[in-house]
Structure 1
Amino acid sequence: MRHLHFGGCASNQETVGAERWDMRLQRASFITAKALLWAAMILVCPAIATAQHHGHGFGTGIAGPPTRPDGVDEKDTLKDFHHALAVQATSQQIAEFQTLVKNAEAAKAELQQFQQQQSKERDAAESARNAALDQALQKARSETQEFIGGFSDTQKSGLKEITKRLGKADSDLEQEEKKLDQSLQTPNVAAPEVAAGAESLDKALTDFSNQQLALGKEMGITLATGQDLTFTLPPVNSPASIANHTVAVAVSGALSQVAVEGSRRTFKFDLVADLSDLQQSITELLRVQLNRENRCGERVAVRQAMLSPSPPATLVAVQLHLERWTCTQMVGRVAANELAESDASIEIRLTPGVEKSNTLELTSEFGRIEASGMMADALRSGDLGNDLRDKVTQSILSALRAGADFKRTLPPALQSGAVIQSAKFQDAAGTLRVVLEGQIQISSEQADLLASELNQALSSRETPQ
């Protein structure tokens, strides 16, 4: 039996004489069926090349029995080839799988927000966050089950083992979700118990996502290519440092092509930064910066602060207790006397904008101010009001700029050319988000690099088999 090697896939040791090649072409009529198979195998040449033997070539005439120092039989190679064809995803399945990955990422983002919330004081928004997490998990699980249910008979047979592992991960995820729900329904449940349940759920969700990716890889699904017209950017954390506290800022995004000129492609991008951790932390952050106990002068105590969406702006409401003291020098001592005292509430409206060089800014203006006497004047036009407004503005601006830090939030292929064109706050069922819109121009080579970076980021999370 002759062993054929396919052009550039052959080793350097294998040479083909022109005369022998012509003779073999003359005999090609009786191997038409085999030629079709060889043509298909050429398409997967890199995989086959590693399995070729290198002891025989056309120059020796009729080759002897194949010897495979790597221990791989040629039948095994063909078996793998046919398996890959049998389980290969259709174009519709590729689109559906991309949705599955997005669903899993959305569930992970909801779980991350839930865990951050548990580290803060529990409030009325907790039930809404729990419901959002349950919905995200249910969507990720149910649509994955529907995806597997749509397999052809050959796919069901060829992917039996990997779908079995994914099914096990799905079952584990369901059990961890139920355990966490049960603990949350327990009256006066201890915070460490909830945190432990959330951590176990996080591990189960990560395994579920990894098994999804392993399934996609087995089906030959490439999640991104350089020719794609849209790209989904995976969520990343770009923390902000505010008053010696670290605030989490989760950023995700998407690109969509809007123009092509030669090899240059223009994409519109949308980055969404989740500021829910800032919302949870705003009271403590302002206390650290504003509270003071001057014996002679102003005494300020922040009682509560709330950060609420009011698109395209955001509204900060602060409740304070204010006192003003004066000191009188007396013989041998200093006497402190209270001049005024008042509870106060103040609203500050903040609107984002973009300056040159992708620099985000905030425009601030006072809204409603409730206070009495000289305290009201100090808030409206005095140093106290100016200091409060500056601290509030800088705290929120720090979080916004963390979300716009392209070195953290964008893949390397996109970091140098992105231009922010607009910024606005968004209300996501009470959760404050900032949406950054802009454009970026990249070459076809950069698009290929971007696709590779996105795929590598997902592949690195796959579970070893």
Structure 2
Amino acid sequence: MNCSSRKYPSASLTFTAFRRAVLALSLAASPLAASAQNAVIKVPPIKIPLDVKGQPITITASAILTVSTKNRTLTTLHLQLTGDLSDLQANLTSLLSSQLDKDDRCGDRIAIQNATLTPTDPASQALVQLHVERWVCIKALGKQVTRRLINGDAQLPITLTPAIDEDGTSLRLVPEVGEIQADGSLGELLRSGLLGDTIREKVHNTILSALQKGTDLNATLPPAVQGYVTIQNAQFKDAGDGRLLVVLDGEARITQDQIRLLSEQVKERTASR
């Protein structure tokens, strides 16, 4: 056989194949597979202790970041942040009692008897049961005496729907009062009077305060992505056992250097748990 007739791969082809093999290995070894599309970064749950109107509660929040698109300079991450509101549900009666209970000798006497917060996807409903009395002080025969004008129990259902402010970073609640059940003239007082407005406002503000603190992006997300997230949607969800969750959806656009730093920070947080 003539050896000169044998065919060998050219040096350029051999080098090209080697370079491709090295590139494939380097991609497989990177933390996020070179930040390939659909790569997922799971931020482990973190317990956020809150002081809501003087009452301590804890909200557990976690996040999932998914690479959706990328180019040479920026990577777009889809964010889903979930907050577990079960501790808020368990302590809602005491939270509202601290805000609404009062015992004025010559005025309103209010006692919150029970308050619940249940999921009604994508909203939630606060149901407040309370006892209300209204007293006035009058003078009779030179002495001040008290007289009770109203005495009864009431039940107020308030539907709360989450929404996002125009800046894309702040959570708000849209309240809607349902049918009020109340004894006698108390019903009219709660439907059209200042007392009803005050109760609705206190319920709304107490729950909103807890939500805003419990879904604070800077408290949940690693520093590499803080300040780069905009929220596009918010909703309440049932965890399956009546436990209320709040879920925020949004996105962040960050550089490849931030992606690598984010991956490292998530690993550090996971290792420290």
Under TM normalisation by the shorter chain, which class is it?
0.7 to 0.9
Who is 2:81 aligned against? 271
Mean Cα displacement is larger for which, 272-281 or 356-365? 356-365
Contact 1:225 1:448 in 2 (8 A): no
Aligned counterparts of 1:427 and 1:445: Cα–Cα separation in 2: 37
Contact 1:312 1:425 in 2 (8 A): yes
Who is 2:147 aligned against? 337
Give the one of 51, 58, 62 matched to 1:252.
62
Who is 2:53 aligned against? 243
Who is 2:5 aligned against? none
Aligned counterparts of 1:331 and 1:291: Cα–Cα separation in 2: 32
Paired residue total:
243
Who is 1:431 aligned against? 243
Identical aligned residues as a percent:
37
**Deviation string, structure 1 residues 219-239 (Cα, Å, up to 9, x no partner):** xx9976663611001111223
**Deviation string, structure 1 residues 120-156 (Cα, Å, up to 9, x no partner):** xxxxxxxxxxxxxxxxxxxxxxxxxxxxxxxxxxxxx
| Shift >3 Å, 4+ stretches | 221-226
Q: RMSD value over aligned CA atoms?
A: 1.9
Give the number of the structure whose alpha-carbon radius of gyration is greater.
1
Who is 1:389 aligned against? 200
Code of the residue aligned with 1:387 in structure 2: it is T
**Deviation string, structure 1 residues 157-183 (Cα, Å, up to 9, x no partner):** xxxxxxxxxxxxxxxxxxxxxxxxxxx
Who is 1:22 aligned against? none
Aligned counterparts of 2:54 and 2:31: Cα–Cα separation in 1: 40
Determine if the alignment matches structure 1 residue 413 to structure 2 residue 221. Answer: no
Code of the residue aligned with 1:445 in structure 2: it is D
Q: By percentage of residues, which structure has more strand?
A: 2
Which ranges of structure 1 fall in alignment gaps of 5 or more residues? Answer: 1-42, 44-90, 92-220
* Bigger RCO of structures 1 and 2 (CA < 8 A, at least 6 apart): 2
Q: By percentage of residues, which structure has more helix?
A: 1
Which ranges of structure 2 fall in alignment gaps of 5 or more residues? Answer: 1-21, 23-27
Residue 227 to residue 442, structure 1, CA distance change in 2 (3 Å):
same
Aligned counterparts of 2:178 and 2:107: Cα–Cα separation in 1: 26
Mean Cα displacement is larger for which, 405-414 or 223-232? 223-232
Code of the residue aligned with 1:305 in structure 2: it is A
Who is 1:227 aligned against? 35
Aligned counterparts of 1:264 and 1:223: Cα–Cα separation in 2: 17
Q: CA deviation at 1:372?
A: 2.7
Code of the residue aligned with 1:356 in structure 2: it is E
TM-score normalised over the length of structure 1: 0.50
Q: CA deviation at 1:373?
A: 3.0
Mapping 1:38-53, distance limit 5 Å: none
Q: CA deviation at 1:299?
A: 1.1
**Deviation string, structure 1 residues 297-333 (Cα, Å, up to 9, x no partner):** 2111111111111111100111111111121113442
Code of the residue aligned with 2:263 in structure 1: it is A
Who is 1:346 aligned against? 156
Mapping 1:128-143, distance limit 5 Å: none
Contact 1:258 1:267 in 2 (8 A): yes
